[in-house]
């Protein structure tokens, strides 16, 4: 593999934000000898097994000259190869740990979780235990399931303090098929979020590349001119207006890290109580003491950003059946919304 391709792969081999797969596209060298594509990719891409390449081919994730190919396709000079492949398990040393999990669906290929606030999806960045994967390892062990790597295969994730629906594959084949759906943007995802401010329109679209912030590597930022980061597209629609805050629905075309949170901040409507992106202070409203107390009480009820993954839909990786799941808003978010409804009624009566 030439130096130019090596540089391309080093650039591309990064997590696609909250979607955990890789996408690589390159042109085969003119001097390349004819070779099976599963052997070619295994030999030319680091940290990928032949079995993982073969699963990618079965899922339709390997294209040559924009057409899907099987694992025995013979690579030729100047072929344009595009491959979407999934990550291997991050940490095979994960030990089972009991964690209450709200399992809304499970079969031999997939498991759908309604994740609670405060639960990290996988180990890392100081969270080496107590994660969703630890809980899944315990669940699979105590239900005597023969899972290939004991804790499942991630395809996507949601933030620690975001609640709601996410799917985990139980084998590499299911993981590869689901990754294809995420890459093709055919996964149905709807989020509900309470954000600061009111909107002139009832719906809209936010477009802006998202990448790591140069000032704080824990945060993401929007690069509107597209000179950095990766493409990100978020569609929003107003569900309920409270004057100073708004309940919105969000539909994702891409799955970048913190996408809804950072896009909302970018257009001047950070999520309610999102400390990382400036939503944990009073941004709209009055200066009256009672109003400040009201906001503080809301923050105490919901000490996290107000974001919930409400709907998740996908095509089952084995049966081909269209699956659709809905999750009710969690208690803390529901309670805060009720407080805003009560506040708005009282405000309107006072103004009359």
Instruction: Determine the Cα–Cα distance for residues 269 and 308; give it in Å rounded to an integer.
Output: 16
> Six-digit token pair at 216?
């704080």
Alpha helix ranges (H) inside 84-241: 132-142, 172-183
164 SS3 class: strand
DSSP element (H, E) containing 300: helix 289-301
> Six-digit token pair at 267?
């257009």
Which residue matches tokens 């000259």?
65
Classify burial at 218, counting beta carbons within 10 Å of its beta carbon; exposed 0-12, middle 13-18, buried 19 or more. Answer: exposed
Instruction: Determine the Cα–Cα distance for residues 297 and 300; give it in Å rounded to an integer.
Output: 5
Q: 38 catalytic, yes or no?
A: no
Pairing of strands 21-27, 163-169: unpaired
Say which DSSP state 271 is in: B
Which residue matches tokens 């105590």?
142
State the virtual CA torsion across 111, 112, 118, 123 in degrees, nearest 10. 30
Q: What is the DSSP string of 44-77?
A: HSTT--HHHHHHHHHTT-EEETTEE--TTPEE-T
Pairing of strands 163-169, 307-315: parallel
Contact 115, 157 (CB under 8 A): no
Instruction: Determine the Cα–Cα distance for residues 87 and 82; give it in Å rounded to an integer.
Output: 16
The one catalytic residue in 159, 274, 280, 332 is: 159
Instruction: Determine the Cα–Cα distance for residues 92 and 80; give it in Å rounded to an integer.
Output: 34
> Six-digit token pair at 319?
């049966």
Active site residue ranges: 159
């Amino acid at each position: 593999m030439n130096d130019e391709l090596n540089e391309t792969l080093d650039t591309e081999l990064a997590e696609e934000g909250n979607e955990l797969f890789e996408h690589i596209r390159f042109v085969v060298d003119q001097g390349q000898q004819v070779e099976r594509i599963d052997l070619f990719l295994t030999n030319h891409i680091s940290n990928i097994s032949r079995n993982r390449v073969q699963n990618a081919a079965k899922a339709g994730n390997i294209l040559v000259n924009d057409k899907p190919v099987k694992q025995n396709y013979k690579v030729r000079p100047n072929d344009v190869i595009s491959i979407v492949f999934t990550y291997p398990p991050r940490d095979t040393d994960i030990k089972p740990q009991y964690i209450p999990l709200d399992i809304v669906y499970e079969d031999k290929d997939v498991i759908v979780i309604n994740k609670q606030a405060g639960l990290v999806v996988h180990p890392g960045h100081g969270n080496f235990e107590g994660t969703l994967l630890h809980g899944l390892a315990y669940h699979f062990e105590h239900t005597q399931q023969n899972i290939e790597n004991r804790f499942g295969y991630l395809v996507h994730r949601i933030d620690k303090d975001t609640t709601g629906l996410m799917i985990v594959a139980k084998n590499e084949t299911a993981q590869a098929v689901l990754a294809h759906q995420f890459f093709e943007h055919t996964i149905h995802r709807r989020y509900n979020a309470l954000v600061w401010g009111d909107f002139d329109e009832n719906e809209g679209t936010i477009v802006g590349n998202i990448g790591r912030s140069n000032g704080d590597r824990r945060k993401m930022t929007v690069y509107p001119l597209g000179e950095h980061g990766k493409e990100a597209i978020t569609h929003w629609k107003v569900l309920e207006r409270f004057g100073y805050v708004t309940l919105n629905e969000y539909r994702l075309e891409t799955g970048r890290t913190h996408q809804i949170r950072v896009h909302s901040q970018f257009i001047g409507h950070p999520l309610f109580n999102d400390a990382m992106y400036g939503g944990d202070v009073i941004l709209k409203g009055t200066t009256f003491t009672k109003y400040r107390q009201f906001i503080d009480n809301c923050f105490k009820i919901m000490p996290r950003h107000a974001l919930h993954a409400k709907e998740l839909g996908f095509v089952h990786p084995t049966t081909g059946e269209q699956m659709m799941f809905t999750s009710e808003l969690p208690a803390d978010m529901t309670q805060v919304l009720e407080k805003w409804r009560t506040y708005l009624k009282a405000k309107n009566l006072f103004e009359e």
